[in-house]
Structure 1
């Protein structure tokens, strides 16, 4: 029997801007609503970013995270996963503030630096809700999303050793798998490892199924039985790559951080709609969806009773 499929939902992220969709969650209330609805639809893990409630800009303030995380945990049993990617351009310390303050069961960790280009998105709009939006997108034309070996060591020792937090290791390219293997070889991490393979971001590996197959093959060689793997793909590739991951025995991520659409040219009305769609696909293929409790057991998480929000 195949394992049940762990669905992660990333409700808002730090990439898309308010002009791009009227449905993008912005305020703590919006984010809490989106997360709770996604959990009810079948997401076992919620990957969280915060935004400035007035402007929609990515915002690292721990009080914003605590506001929506306390409500999500009160109204669902989903695993809450705090991003340490933050918003493009934030310092390492800013990106870590929320995770250190909330001591979550999970946090994301981007395991390599890359050119993270979202500037082409600016070409799709001529009018903006906020002045910061086109400037934010355009600055990525000359931007490196920095995750050096020193950064990785710092985050692992701060969160894994200091808080017992496990990671969603975000791997945007082949070399990132080897970076993760290096971290493991240092003896700083305990299995099982949750590897999130990311496709379709300009600067990272392209959304080509041959790439998915190859990264999966290499991950199997590097991590063997000591890991769980998951896939996310940006934009129009979201559902097809998620489906392929399930068929290969992996897990998957959806949500408006990764795509604002539910189908060709159709904005998704909610994060829950994306979860509902992929759950229907999974179940129609004969697979089952993992519950939060199953997920905690498979990923060896510390438990919701050991967080600080």
Structure 2
């Protein structure tokens, strides 16, 4: 019997962690490109990408900052490239959509609702910062709402879908699954849906095994065989959630956007390190990492040759 294929996504830098939290967090275009290529070589079929200001590491949605690393990754890897429309929770939707609208990627992330996005508890763990913006941004999340209204979501869908871009639907709570069902019923999204259930962010669902099972049961009831399920776990629970979801038939996401850790008390030095660990987990279960073309088939993607990258 053929081994079940598991899509490994890798989110290489994100907008949650700040440069002072880890010397290994990719900041420059060169860093991001090398980290992404390493993750793909380690077994990630999908690379999820944000950009940062190369001077101070601040999250930045300027397409000019995306282009240098996108070109290099495209030249040296066949991985599916997934561009954020989440950006940073402080950014308005028109700023967040710019890279995906410019480059028409195979996949773009799409957060499925407005929510609190509490990063301020990290101020209890980190005290020394290289840049003034870092503690200020973390503290600001105490009184910040990540705005993705129904109008925002519809705008993202109707702008990017005609470009042939499909979506990684990031669902941080049960209500986000119901929001996605609403847009599916309206015909604004189509199967197969790529649903990324996200665990452990303050403002969303927790990371207890019951939470994972609840989200999977709800998605099964709402979407049946119309979706591919994937999970990400924030922080130290990353790999235990990977293992649980893989055992339940899911796909997985790792990367320094979601967790800085390579093991208890030890920072991961590369994104590839986390991909290799995740791959060892799934292969130990008798499963196999999907390659990029297999992921494209599973998610009905348009192909890397039909993007503007």
Query: In structure 2, what is the equivalent of residue 18 of structure 1?
Result: 19
Query: In structure 1, what is the equivalent of residue 175 of structure 2?
Result: 175
CA offset digits 1:159-184 (Å, max 9, x no partner): 012x1100000000000000000010
Matched-pair contact (CA < 8 Å) for 1:2–1:249: no
Q: Return the TM-score normalized by structure 2.
A: 0.99
Query: In structure 2, what is the equivalent of residue 139 of structure 1?
Result: 140
| Gapped regions of structure 2 (runs ≥ 5) | none
For 2:75 and 2:89, the matched residues in 1 are separated by 30
Structure 1 position 284, deviation (Å): 1.2
Query: In structure 2, what is the equivalent of residue 185 of structure 1?
Result: 185
Query: In structure 2, what is the equivalent of residue 117 of structure 1?
Result: 118
Structure 1 residue runs of 4+, over 3 Å off?
Answer: none
Matched-pair contact (CA < 8 Å) for 1:60–1:94: yes
Structure 1 position 127, deviation (Å): 1.9
Structure 1 position 123, deviation (Å): 1.8
Matched-pair contact (CA < 8 Å) for 1:6–1:289: yes
Query: In structure 2, what is the equivalent of residue 58 of structure 1?
Result: 59
Secondary structure at 2:288 match in 1: coil
Q: Return the TM-score normalized by structure 1.
A: 0.99
Query: In structure 2, what is the equivalent of residue 249 of structure 1?
Result: 249
Secondary structure at 2:30 match in 1: helix
RMSD: 0.8
| Gapped regions of structure 1 (runs ≥ 5) | none
Query: In structure 1, what is the equivalent of residue 92 of structure 2?
Result: 91
2:115 maps to 1:108: no
What is the 5 A alignment of 1:258-269?
258-269=258-269
The alignment of Structure 1 onto Structure 2 pairs a total of residues equal to: 308
Structure 1 position 63, deviation (Å): 1.1
Query: In structure 2, what is the equivalent of residue 286 of structure 1?
Result: 286
Secondary structure at 2:97 match in 1: helix
For 1:274 and 1:5, the matched residues in 2 are separated by 15
